[in-house]
Structure 1
Amino acid sequence: MTDLSIGTLTADPTVIAKLDARRFNRHTFWCGQSGSGKTYALGVVLEQLLLHTELPMLILDPNADFVRLAETRDSAPVEHSDRIAQTDIRVFRSGHQEGERLHVRYLDLSPAAKAAVLQIDPIADAEEYNVLLHWSVSATEFDTDRMLQEFRASGEPARVRLANRMENLQVLEWDLWSRGAHSVVDVIDGRPRATVLDLGGFDHPAEPKVAALAVLEQLWARRESRRPILIVIDEAHNLCSPEPRNAVERALTEQLVQIAAEGRKFGLWLFLSTQRPTKIHPNVLSQCDNLGLMRVNAPRDIAELAEVFGFVGEDDIRRAQGFTQGQALFAGGFIAQPTFVQMGARLTEEAGGDVVVPLRE
Structure 2
Amino acid sequence: MSGVPFDVLSITVSLISRIIFEYGYFYKRLRCNANKDESINNDVPLLLVYEEAHKYVPNSDLVKYRASKQSIERIAKEGRKYGVSLLLASQRPSEISETIFSQCNNFLAMRLTNPNDQNYVKRLLPDTLGNLIDKMPTLRAGECLLIGESVILPSIVQIDRCSPEPSSNDIPYWKLWKEEWKVLNIEEIRKEWYK
Quick check: TM above 0.5?
yes
Deviations 1:296-326 (A, max 9, x none): 1222222221223449821113321222333
2:17 to 216, 220, 230: 216
Aligned mate of 1:257, from 58, 63, 73: 73
- Verify the 8 A CA contact 1:231 1:270 in the aligned structure 2: yes
1:355 pairs, out of 167, 171, 182, with 171
Give 2:120's match in structure 1, choosing from 304, 308, 312. 304
Query: What is the Cα-based RMSD across aligned positions, in Å?
Result: 2.2
Aligned match of 2:137 in 318, 321, 336? 321
1:238 partnered with 2:40: no
1:286–1:308 CA contact under 8 A, matched in 2: no
Structure 1: state its 5+ residue gaps.
1-198
Secondary structure of the structure 1 residue equivalent to 2:78: helix
User: Percent of aligned positions with the same letter in both sequences?
Assistant: 25
2:46 alignment partner, one of 229, 242, 251: 229
Match of 2:155 in 1: 339
- 1:1-361 matches, cutoff 5 A: 199-202=1-4, 204-224=5-25, 225=27, 226=42, 227-246=44-63, 248-310=64-126, 313-357=129-173, 358=175, 360=178
Matched to 2:144, the amino acid is A
**Matched position secondary structure for 1:249:** helix
Q: How far apart are residue 239 of structure 1 and its match? A: 0.3
Q: Which has the higher contact order (CA 8 A, sep 6+)?
A: 1
Q: What secondary structure sits across from 2:135 in the alignment?
A: helix
**Counterpart code for 1:274:** S
Rg: which structure is higher? 1
Q: Secondary structure at the match of 1:313?
A: helix
The count of aligned residue pairs is: 161
The runs of 5 or more residues in structure 2 that have no matched partner are 28-41, 180-195
Is the 1:328–1:340 Cα contact (8 Å) retained in structure 2? yes
Counterpart residue identity of residue 159, structure 2 = M
Query: Which structure carries more helix by proportion?
Result: 2
